[in-house]
Structure 1
Amino acid sequence: MLDWLERWQIPLHLIALGAGAVIGLTVPATAAAFEVAINPVLMALLYATFLSVPLTKLGHALRDARFLAGLLVLNFLIVPVVVYVLSRLVADDQALLLGVLLVLLTPCIDYVIVFSGLARAAHDRLLAAAPLLMLLQMLLLPVYLGMFVDPELFEVIDLAPFIEAFLLLIVTPLAVAALTQFLAARFRPAQQVMDLMEALMVPLLMLTLTVVVASQIDAVRTDLPSLLRVIPIYIIFLVVMVPLGIFIGRVFYQDASATRATVFSGATRNSLVVLPLALALPDSLTLVAVVVVTQTLVELVGMVVYVRLIPRVVLEKAGQYN
C-alpha cells in the first residue's frame, strides 16, 4: 500500500485539491470548520515529515556552508528584489499588495520538504535550515514591509500570529519528532509510531491540501475578479525562480541535490504559516487572506510541475544542467 501511495502521490494530491474545491464550493458553510482544522493537520504533516529525516544528521546538514549561504542569499537578497518588481503590478491596491508581499517574502519551511524529497533534492538540508529560515523571515519581514508599503499600512500588522505559528508549527512538531526518534531506539511502540507516520505521509499531505482549499475556495470564487490580477504574478514568480535557483547553485558550487533544494526553497512560499497572520488583519484587509490562499493554489499546481521538471533540469551528476 505504501509503495502504491508513493507511486501515485502526484495524481492523489491533485485529487485532494479537487476534493477541497468541490467541498468548499458546494458546502461553503463548512469553511469556518475547515479553517480551524488547518493548524492541526499541518502540525501532523510536519511531524511526519520531521520523522522521515534522521534528526541526528541535522548537525552535519547545518555545517554545509555553501548550501546555507546560497539559500540565504536567494531567499533574503534576490527574492525581495524580484518580489518588489512584481508587486508594483498591484501597488495601487493595498490589500492585493500586502497579500503578495506577505506570502512571497516568506520562504516555505513545511511542505517544501515533502515536495523537494519527491524530486530527489536535499530535503534533509532544507529541514535543518527550516528554523533558521523561519527566524530570519520573522526578523526581516517587518523590514521589507516597511520598505515596500506605506507606513500607515505597515502599522496595522500584528506579528504575534507569526511567532505563534513558528512555535506551533515548527518547534512543537520538531521537538516531538526528536523525542519519538530517541524513544524509537529503545522502545518498540515508538518505532511503530514512526512506521505508521511514514505510511501516513501521503494521506496527511492530501488531507492538508483538502482542508486548506475547502476553507478558502469560496472566498477565492467571490473575489476572483480582484485575484485575477495576482495570479499572473505568482506564475511569473514560479517561472523566474527556476533559473535563479540554478544560478545560485552554480555560484556556490552546490551538488545536484543541493541545487534542487535551493530551487525549491526559492520558489515555495510560506503561505500556510502566514495565513494566520493574514487572518488577523483588520476587516478592511480581509482580502489579504484570500490573496495568500490563491498563492497556495497556484504554487501547489506549480509543485506538481516542479517535481517532474527539476530532476530533468538539474541532473544527478554534480555540476551538470540541461
Structure 2
Amino acid sequence: MSLLEKFYSIIILLSVVLGLGLGNFMIVANDADLFIVPLLIGMLYITFLQIPIEDIKDSFKNIRFTYATVIMNFVWTPLFAWLLAYIFLAEHPALWIGFIMLMVTPCTDWYLIFTGMARGNVALSTTILPLNLILQVLLLPLYLLLFGGAKGTIEISFLVECVLIVLIIPLLLAFITKSILSKKKHIEDKILSNLSIFPIIFLSLAIVAMFASQGSLLLNHLDLLLKILIPILLFFVVNFMIGQKVASQCQFPYEDKVSFNLTTLARNSPIALAIAMTAFPNQPLIALTLVIGPLLELPILALVAQLLLLLRKREDKEKHTT
C-alpha cells in the first residue's frame, strides 16, 4: 500500500478544496472542464492495465463464492440501493442518481487491502476482481436506465456515448497493451509497478477540474449532502449483516467469509465518478455524491476489518470453551 493510497481520503478532500479555491479565478473556471475527460480516460486506462482481466476464468474455480458474490453485488445490491434512494432521496434526482451509481459499482482495488488487514482470502478476492469489473462496465448503463431513468436526467444516447468513450475505449486499449507487453513479462511488471500511483493523481486532478468549473453551484447546495449520509450508512450496515448471514449459509471458512463481506461492501466510486463527470456535466451534485463515497467508505471498511477480526476471536474462544 503506497503512501498515496494510505491517504486516499485526505487527497480526495484536498482536491475538492483546491478545486473550489481555483474556481474563484475566472481564467481557471472557464476552461477547467476541458481537462476532465482526458484525465479520467488516462486514470481508467492505467487502472485497467493493473487488473488481470485475462484471469477472469479463475473466478469460476470457486463456483459457490462466485455465484454468491455476483448475486449479492449485481442483483440484491442494485435493488437495495433503489429502495434506499426511493425512501430517502425521492425529491432530489441528482442525489438519487449519484447514490445509485455509487452503490451498483463493486470495488476493484482497495478492498484487497482491507481483506488482507482482516486476514481474509486475498487470493480468492483477487480472482473475482476481473469479473466484477466486466459486469459493472456492462451493467452500469442498464442500472442507470432502470433505477434512474424515471428521474428525467438521463439521455440514453449520450449515456451510451459516454460509456463508450470513458470506459470501453480505455478497457480495450488496456487489453491491447497487456497483450503486447505479455510477450515481455519482465518489462510489463516493471512498467505496471511504476504506474500504480498515477490513477490517484489523475483522479485527483479531474476532481480539481470539476470543482473548479462547478464550484459555485455546489456551494449553494451543500445542505443536500447531509441527506445522503443516512442511506450510505444504512447500505453498509445492512449489507454487512446480510453478507455475514449469506457467508454462514454457504458455509464459508473465516478467510472466505472476510473476502465475501468486503467484496460485497466496498464500492468502486472512481469508475462511477468517471461516468458521472462525463454523462452529467451540468449535474455536479451527482459527482459530488460519488466524491463523498470514499470519504465515508474507507474509514468504514477499516472498522469492518477490525470488527471481522473481533468476530473471529470470539468464534475461536467459543470453540475452545466447548
TM bucket (normalised to shorter chain) is 0.7 to 0.9
Specify the alignment match of 2:92 in structure 1.
93
Specify the alignment match of 1:159 in structure 2.
159
- 1:24 equivalent to 2:19? Answer yes
Q: Distance in 1 between matches of 2:282 and 2:199?
A: 32
- 1:59 equivalent to 2:57? Answer yes
Specify the alignment match of 1:38 in structure 2.
40
Pairwise CA distance, 1:69: 0.5
Pairwise CA distance, 1:312: 1.8
When the two chains are superposed, the root-mean-square deviation of aligned CA atoms in Å is 3.7
> What letter matches 1:273 in structure 2?
I
Distance verdict in 2 for CA 1:14–1:109, change over 3 Å: closer
- 1:16 touches 1:209 (CA, 8 Å); kept in 2? no
Q: Distance in 2 between matches of 1:242 and 1:38?
A: 31
Q: TM-score, normalised by structure 1?
A: 0.74
- 1:197-276 map, 5 Å: 197-201=192-196, 203-204=197-198, 206-208=200-202, 210-217=204-211, 219=215, 220-276=218-274
Q: Runs of 5+ in structure 1 lacking a partner?
A: 185-190
1:199-238 Cα offsets, whole Å, 9 max, x none, are 553x335425533543445645443111121123222222
Q: Distance in 2 between matches of 1:212 and 1:248?
A: 38
Q: Distance in 1 between matches of 2:80 and 2:228?
A: 14
> What letter matches 1:198 in structure 2?
S
> What letter matches 1:125 in structure 2?
T
SS of residue paired to 1:234: helix
Q: Distance in 2 between matches of 1:221 and 1:320?
A: 50
Distance verdict in 2 for CA 1:236–1:103, change over 3 Å: same
> What letter matches 1:168 in structure 2?
I
Pairwise CA distance, 1:282: 6.3
Q: Which moved more, 1:252-261 or 1:67-76?
A: 252-261
Distance verdict in 2 for CA 1:95–1:44, change over 3 Å: same
Specify the alignment match of 1:124 in structure 2.
126
SS of residue paired to 2:152: helix
Give the % identical residues.
15
> What letter matches 1:129 in structure 2?
L
1:170-222 Cα offsets, whole Å, 9 max, x none, are 343244335423421xxxxxx14413422553x33542553354344564544
> What letter matches 1:124 in structure 2?
T
Pairwise CA distance, 1:143: 6.1
Q: Runs of 5+ in structure 2 lacking a partner?
A: none
Moved over 6 A (4+): 319-322
- 2:12 touches 2:291 (CA, 8 Å); kept in 1? no
Specify the alignment match of 1:180 in structure 2.
181
Q: TM-score, normalised by structure 2?
A: 0.74
Distance verdict in 2 for CA 1:143–1:156, change over 3 Å: closer
